[in-house]
Each structure stands twice: as C-alpha cells, then as structure tokens.
Amino acid sequence: MKFLAWLVPPLAMLAACASPERYDPLEAYEEVEATKVIDAPTASAASPEATAAAARGEYLVELLGCGACHTDGALVGAPDLSKPLAGSDIGIAWTNPLENERPGIVYPANITPDPETGIGRWSDAQLAEAIRAGAGRHGTRRILVMPWQGYARLTEDDVAAIVTYLRSVEPVENRVPLPVPVGTKAKAPYVHFGVYRSRGLD
C-alpha cells in the first residue's frame, strides 16, 4: 500500500506532461470598449407627415442603439461616422468561442436605402418583420445576433416610423462581408458579444 502511495504522484506528473496542449479560448481575443451611442443621420423626408414620422424614427433608432452595430467600427469603439448605418466590416460571433475555436460570425447589415448593398429593395413589410421578429428579407431565417426580442413589442406606429426614417436617410453603397459558418476561418475581424475582438485571422 505504501508502495502504491509513493507511485501515484510520479504517474500523475507523467500523465500531465503527456497530455496535449489545451485550447485557451481567450488567447485569440482582446477586450474592447464598444461605442455605446451614435447620433442617427439626419432624415430628409418631403411631406409634413413623412417628416414627423421620420423624426420619430430617428429618435427611436438612436434610442434602440441601431448605429452601435450597423455603423462600421462602432463595435470596437471607433465608428466611421462618414458611413452611418451602412453596415459593419467587423462581425459578431454568434457561437461560443469557449467551445468553437472558429465561431460562426455575422456582419451587421447596411440599413441605408442603397438598392444594391442596403435595404433599398426591401418592402416595408419585410423591414417591419426584420425589426420586430429578426426575420431575413425573405423570412427564411432569423437574423443572427439581431436583438429583435427587445423590439418585438414596438407599436405599429413606431415600426412604421423607423421604416420611414430608414428610407429617408442618405443611401450609402457599402457591401459587408458574408456570414462565416462555424469552423470556417474568418477573413474579416469580429467581436464576441461586443466584449472580445479577434487578435488575428490565422
């Protein structure tokens, strides 16, 4: 029995030395301080009714913090205010980096009325569904990381005001990177829940 007690510690040390190197999930990340509030771009609606709705929509877009994701650089505290609401080249991981070394990533969309890269070809109903239910343009899937649960109880008038406002801002041509599936190497930077940013892409 004494012999076995003497033998256990060396065996445990050998096992520890032989074990493969453990994955440190935070090694590839650094903390960032994301932008909290971004002024929404000024609306330019024509009729008095549209102007009032757009002003209400502008207020709501600022209140809901849409620009904090949909403006490039805002996720890492350096918003590009020359392209407000035109989408982000910095993505958001939607899977847990503690479990996935290469998480799934989405890049916040361009929500200006540019017809090629933004919402210019979306219908009012599609935009309302995206805001309130996180649905994609064709309603086939949820928009990952879109905080639609917090917007689900917006009134019809409030959603309509947001849609009117988004239609009234200056269109900005800016195509964001495509989503990255889990396990795939990202070609553009990303954050994890706005707390950590990838250091490198290798």
Per residue in 104-150, pLDDT (tens digit) is 999 999 999 999 999 999 999 999 999 988 877 655 567 778 888 88
Rg (CA), the chain: 23
Phi, psi (rounded to 5 degrees) for 103: -75, 165
Measure CA of the first residue to CA of the last residue in the chain; give whole Å.
51
Answer whether 56's CB lies under 8 Å from 79's CB.
Answer: no
Return phi, psi of residue 198, to 5°.
Answer: -65, 135
Task: Give the predicted TM-score (pTM) of the model.
Answer: 0.77
pLDDT in tens, 66-81: 999 999 999 999 999 9
Residue 26: predicted pLDDT: 66
From residue 8, give the alpha-carbon distance in Å to each of 15, 105, 111, 122. Answer: 11, 45, 63, 68
Quick: pLDDT tens for 156-179. 999 999 999 999 999 999 999 999
For residue 9, the model assigns a pLDDT of 46
Coil, helix or strand for 51?
helix
Pick the CATH number of 38-89+109-177 from 2.115.10, 3.30.450, 1.10.760, 1.10.10: 1.10.760
